[in-house]
A and B are shown apart, each in its own frame.
Chain A
Amino acid sequence: MASKRRGLPEINAGSMADIAFLLLIFFLVTTTMDQDTGIARKLPPMPEEELQEDDSQINAKNIYTVLINSQNQLLVEGELMDISQLKDGAKKFINNNGIDPNSSENPEKAIISLQNDRGTEYMTYIRVQNELAAAYTDLRNNASLNEFGERYADLNKTQMKEIRKMYPQKISEAEPKNIGGDE
């Protein structure tokens, strides 16, 4: 018999490439390569009923208050401020080390208190968060360049921890309130 001699006829694999191309194009089109980025924050846990927050231990001079009203204006330490100045202001406050008696004692004790209105625009809020984070990044970078001669992002874990201990990022957000103006 003819078929016995030749065995099974081979399947034509010529169209394999076409099929694979079709699939490839499908996945190329559906792929989203963009990685999500954002500002990472940790929310404070819900305060327990009987446990009232104890602010008395914190010296008032160690708190840098930033208020944002519904007109997206900033009130920093009781004075109107433009967002562009916030980073330098925060840096000066954190790195005061007791030079100015009305400013923070040292970076470890410095706390930034952020409070916003319900009518504040999200964009402004993120900008403020970003400026404050940038202030800390700058300070940490300076410290790590002095200590280890490298930027903060290039340090290893233990070194990072050390720098983080020098400049702990303490941004506290007050319980929501209405500050000036309706929504």
Chain B
Amino acid sequence: MSKFRKDGKKGMPAISTASLPDIVFMLLFFFMVTTVMRETTLFVSVTTPKATEIKKLKKKSLVSYIYIGSPVRRMQSSYGTAARIQLNDAFASVDEIQEFIATEREARDEKEIPYMTTSIKADETVKMGIITDVKQELRKANALKINYSTRKGTY
């Protein structure tokens, strides 16, 4: 009589796994789209200082990074422990910053140039002398939008 009569003979039906690849693909595409691959290997150790008044850096494609810190341990034998600047994949001197900004600009669309930001990722123990030099070079290169990279937190 009842339509929902239990059919003891059949037992538990196996869950269909036919849609599993679809689910996995969905997740896969999500991660593929959100992934930003680390493009540079850090040669300098950077622990950014803490701050509370922070803003998020939007449009990662328009951000160029300048790393400042003392070389990582395996580099210390050849480069010493004094703070150094890293641009892309190599150590650089202060004079190379203008050139770096120029190449970064060339890689972008002309319309996007005013929105370009330079993120200064400097270690908290670095002295201001080197930062000031970098800032002066950025001013010369007319790359005025900067961002001091910090972590969220208080001292």
Contact = CB atoms under 8 A, between A and B. Distances in A.
Interface residues of B, number: 53
B55 A39 contact: yes
12 contacts: A20-B24, A38-B51, A39-B55, A39-B147, A43-B139, A44-B144, A46-B142, A118-B132, A120-B127, A126-B150, A130-B52, A130-B150
Majority secondary structure, A binding face: mixed
Contacts of A42: 144-146
Contacts of A85: none
B57 A32 contact: no
Given A17-B21, A46-B139, A134 B52 contact: yes
Contacts of B155: 127
B119 A38 contact: yes
Interface of A: 13, 16-17, 20-21, 23-24, 27-28, 30-33, 35-46, 116-123, 125-127, 129-130, 133-134, 137, 176, 183
A176 B136 contact: yes
Interface in B1-53: 17, 20-21, 24-25, 27-28, 31-32, 34-38, 48-49, 51-53
List of 5 A-B pairs having minimum Cβ-Cβ separation, nearest first: A118-B129, A27-B31, A133-B53, A123-B124, A20-B24
